[in-house]
Amino acid sequence: MVVDSSIQHKKTGYKSSHSLNVQSLCQLQLEQLTIQNPIFFARIVYYDPLMKTHEEVINYAPTRLPFSQNTLAYLRSEEWLLDFFPGFTLNEIKLNYSVGNCYICPLGYRNQRPEYIQILSDESLSPTLQNYVKQSAVLVSNYLEIYLECGQQKAEIKLLEEIIQRAGHQLRNNLGLIGLYAQNLSLGLKDSPLQEQATILCESIEELDNNLTELIYCGQGAKLRVSLQDLRTLVLESIKDLQILINQKHLQVSLPESSTMLVIDCSQMKQVFDNLLSNAVYFSPEGGTITCNWQVFQSEVLIKISDQGSGLSQEDLQKIFTPFYSRRSKGTGLGLTIAKKIVLDHQGSLWGQNLPNGGAQFSLILPRSKS
């Protein structure tokens, strides 16, 4: 097997782990193709949208020797590609070199260059093998889309971390100054009726400072302080904090009697449940029901939180975790973004969807203790 990546990567000597994962998938697909007679050579050309380079992966059948540099140069020149065919169709191409039957299955066309699977065979491909090549093209294309989405998500999370750090430190400086004046005011009002108000002001500033510390800490995914936590207890704590709002709207909150233990950062994961339940309360109709449930598997737990509100719009479904996008009139647009970052830091996943009978549901998967 021969793998040849872009010249830019050779010069820099750098590849992201995601790029390597894409190449590993391509290699696997090509190996599966070249063990099928009469295919003796397979090649994938694709555009890496994160590295912004075109990549190439090639593979030979075990019984074949690699082509000469001249033959490879000819294949890479794409002089033979006089027309670009519809995506995921298998098309036979005439080559100037006598290297066998040539087939092309396009994946797409990005950054002014085609992406495709190229197949060379000793004879014409059977209908079954043609379908197999097309299925391989669809698989590679779908993986590239997932890879791009994952890369964009990581870039957004990195931007959010930088914003949290910068804003947090600036706010802390101002908050520290306010706290100092509040303490001086409290001391100066000793034995005064206003001293109680000054004390409350100091306590509120201290609470804000603690919350700000947690927010800054949330932007540092590598510093999780994990411990064994009871899932039901953690959810109940978030419900208790929202009880006044729940009572105002006469809402019912349903959750299982059973529980499970999770290895998580307690304070950060509570932020996740605070946010998801707060949104559920906000968007629930008067007298509605918020449902929390979970399914425990061997190594993970699936948690679902749903409401009976109007559900998520198409724009919501596309942007719900994007920084500064908010469905609430006075929302910061950071709550769900931070929640998703926390879940990702815990090697989990978080997503939202609409329920068939109305309402929105947010689901998250988290690892759990095996003990």
My answer on whether 104 and 191 are in the same domain is no
pLDDT tens-digit series, residues 4-23: 433 333 333 334 555 558 88
Q: Alpha helices of the chain — where are they, by DSSP H? A: 7-12, 17-34, 69-77, 127-188, 195-218, 231-241, 243-248, 266-283, 314-319, 335-345
Last residue of a domain, one of 148, 176, 195: 148
Domain span including residue 45: 2-148
Name the band, by pLDDT with cuts 50, 70 and 90, for residue 285. very high
* Residue listed under structure tokens 């074949």: 64
Q: 242: domain CATH number?
A: 3.30.565.10
Rg (CA), the chain: 28
Shared domain check, 130 and 7? yes
Residue type, 150: C
Whether 208 and 278 map to the same domain: the answer is no
Contact partners, residue 310, CB within 8 Å, separation at least 6: 283, 358, 359
Residues 6+ apart with CB under 8 A from 98: none
Domain count for the chain, please give it: 3
pTM: predicted TM-score of the whole model, two decimal places: 0.53
165 and 298 both lie in a single domain: no
Using the 3D structure, point to which of 201, 221, 241 is the last residue of a domain: 221
| Same domain as 53, residue 109 | yes
111: CATH: 3.30.450
The pLDDT > 90 percentage for the chain reads 51
Mind listing the pLDDT tens digit for each residue in 221-271?
Answer: 557 888 999 999 999 999 999 999 999 999 999 999 999 999 999 988 998
Looking at the structure, tell me whether residues 170 and 211 fall in a common domain: yes
| 97: its two tokens | 């070199």
- Residue 6 sits in the same domain as residue 144: yes
Distance CA 144, CA 110 (A): 12
Q: 214 and 244 share a domain?
A: no
User: Are residues 246 and 203 located together in one domain of the fold?
Assistant: no
Residue 290 neighbours by CB distance under 10 Å: 26
The amino acid sitting at 300 is E
Whether residues 14 and 142 share a domain: the answer is: yes
| Same-domain pairing of 280 and 299 | yes
Q: Which of 148, 181, 198 delimits the end of a domain? A: 148
Give, as one character, the DSSP assignment of residue 79. T
Q: Does residue 356 share a domain with residue 255?
A: yes
